[in-house]
Structure 1
């Protein structure tokens, strides 16, 4: 489970200063009901993680009431979670009412990246490619309906949102996400397609399940994915899979660039061989 901020929203999203929306029909707290009766499930820990994940780039500071609405937890449960997190140095409230996460939270993500073979092996590979090609590269894995960045180098700002290790983006309209979806076992893919909401981030965003299926079939046939301005206008990206020894696509590596500067043909002829070589090199660490 990632503790990083959730993905960014389209430009039409509610500004950070606006009131928080009502809790969704299926709140994070409601999702815990499936574990009712499980004597080994630690509900208090799960609630604490829900509170942590409620903080986002759009809502970095929230009151107990706002967190209660967003998570579906009672105010008393939120208060206890925040009390514990504050005592441990992971959260705090400068004014006594609006809470935010503290820098100590970064130790959790550092523990993951330091102990994860794929993440630690990917970073120097990406840095070497960035130095040689002067472009931005990333490695991500699939977590639920999102991709999560586990390694990244950036030579320039290619997106309006600041991407970093731990950032999350929707899988269906990103090159890395489509790679990971394309190589999912059929049952897992069908489960994903049955519940995904195709939010139109741009006018180019895929808007039907059948179109998405077609994209995924083409990816499996070609072995790479190009996403052209579907998540953000002006952003074009190319991704390839990273396979484990068993043949499972456990990660994906990509190149992101400005659509006006980098053509689809340029990606296919100039950069695709580099990505495939990097993916092969990275897969060696999974043996």
Structure 2
């Protein structure tokens, strides 16, 4: 039985609208609401609502409970990076990460920015590995991690400010930065010094330090970090600043970046 022309046209229209909605997330790499998406793709709010929840049911979008907005799932976000780039990053990071692992008992990560979260795409575990971060593909809020600070600090100023304004700086510990102006000041400091620290901001007694990984054009595309449980949070991981910055530089060099 042949599908009626009108019904076929309606289905094709919905598919086109779904594609436009997904492209909006690709453009902005952030969280968006039903009304925003309806306005941007020029469809009715009820139509946008129906399509968005269909995409959620299919595992392409997910709702963020804290904000009530929607974002690409990890699977869809991963599709945004080319397989070639991902493979090159893995190859460039392998030897430097293995060498850094000999200098610390902590867990090493390579992370990328996914909206207002960090997404961990590579790891090396040491004897002091923290179970919370063992799985590649896990996320954490960018504002409570050294990786997130690095990735946000080196964004273009307008995009950085837009993302920070969209963030909810939910406290994970009493040390979490919850003021947006203070957080922007922290990002400026990170950009100036070339690395970021997390001293008990995401989990009590846990510290991390991260540095930026650059592509051949000098753009920051990922971060490398080390995380450890420490006895004195205020001291942080100061002794690993040099090694982590050197590791980031070596991975960047492997990607084709030259200072």
- Please give the range of the TM-score, normalised by the shorter of the 2 chains: 0.5 to 0.7
Matches within 5 A, 1:123-138: 123-138=94-109
Partner of 1:88: none
Summarize deviations over 1:88-138 as a string: whole Å, max 9, x none.
xxxxxxxxxxxxxxxxx99x979x797412134324432332245333111
5+ residue gaps, structure 1? 1-25, 38-42, 57-69, 73-104
Give the equivalent residue in structure 2 for 1:180: 151
Name the Cα RMSD after superposition.
3.6
CA 1:177–1:198: 2 relative to 1, 3 Å: same
Check the 8 A contact 2:144/2:198 in 1, yes or no. yes
The corresponding residue for 1:20 is none
Aligned to 1:277: 246
Cα separation, 1, equivalents of 2:244 and 2:97:
10
- Tell me by how many angstroms 1:151 deviates: 0.8
**Separation of aligned partners in 2, 1:114 and 1:122:** 15
Higher normalized helix content (fraction of residues): 2
Of 161, 166, 173, the residue aligned with 2:137 is: 166
- Give 5+ residue unaligned stretches, structure 2: 1-30, 44-49
Q: TM-score scaled by structure 1?
A: 0.61
* Aligned partner of residue 285 in structure 1, secondary structure: helix
**For residue 255 of structure 2, what is the aligned residue in structure 1?**
286
- Cα distance in 2 for partners of 1:191, 1:55 equals 20
Report if the CA contact (8 A) 2:108-2:226 is conserved: yes
Q: Tell me the alpha carbon deviations over residues 57-78 of structure 1, each in whole angstroms, 9 at most, x when there is no partner.
A: xxxxxxxxxxxxx999xxxxxx
1:232: how far off?
Answer: 0.9
What is the aligned partner in structure 1 of residue 118 from structure 2? 147
Check 1:113–1:165 CA distance in 2 against 1; reply closer, same or farther (3 A cut): farther
* Paired residues, number: 210
Shift of the alpha carbon at 1:204? 0.9
Q: Which secondary structure does the structure 2 equivalent of 1:188 belong to?
A: helix
Once residues 104 and 32 of structure 2 are traced to their aligned partners in structure 1, the CA distance between those partners, rounded to angstroms, is 44
Task: Quote the Cα distance in structure 1 between the aligned partners of 2:78 and 2:180.
Answer: 34
Aligned residue in 1 for 2:41:
35
- Find the aligned partners of 2:116 and 2:57 in 1 and give their Cα distance: 17
Match of 1:97?
none
Matches within 5 A, 1:1-287: 32-33=37-38, 34-36=40-42, 47-48=54-55, 51-52=58-59, 54=62, 115=84, 116=86, 117-156=88-127, 158-159=129-130, 161-260=132-231, 264=235, 267-269=237-239, 271-287=240-256
Q: Could you say if the C-alpha distance between residues 257 and 192 of structure 1 is closer, same or farther in structure 2, counting changes exceeding 3 Å?
A: same
CA 1:126–1:261 in 2, change beyond 3 Å: closer, same or farther?
farther
Instruction: Measure, in 2, the Cα distance between the counterparts of 1:182 and 1:237.
Output: 16
Q: Partner of 1:273: helix, strand, or coil?
A: helix
CA 1:239–1:50 in structure 2 vs 1: closer, same or farther (change >3 Å)?
farther
CA contact (8 A) 2:105 2:129 kept: no
More off after superposition, 123-132 vs 171-180: 123-132
State the alpha-carbon separation in 2 of the partners of residues 172 and 71 from structure 1: 18
Q: Using a 3 Å threshold, how does the CA distance of structure 1 residues 263 and 204 change in structure 2: closer, same or farther?
A: closer
Q: Cα–Cα, structure 1 residues 221 and 49, in superposed 2: closer, same or farther, change >3 Å?
A: same
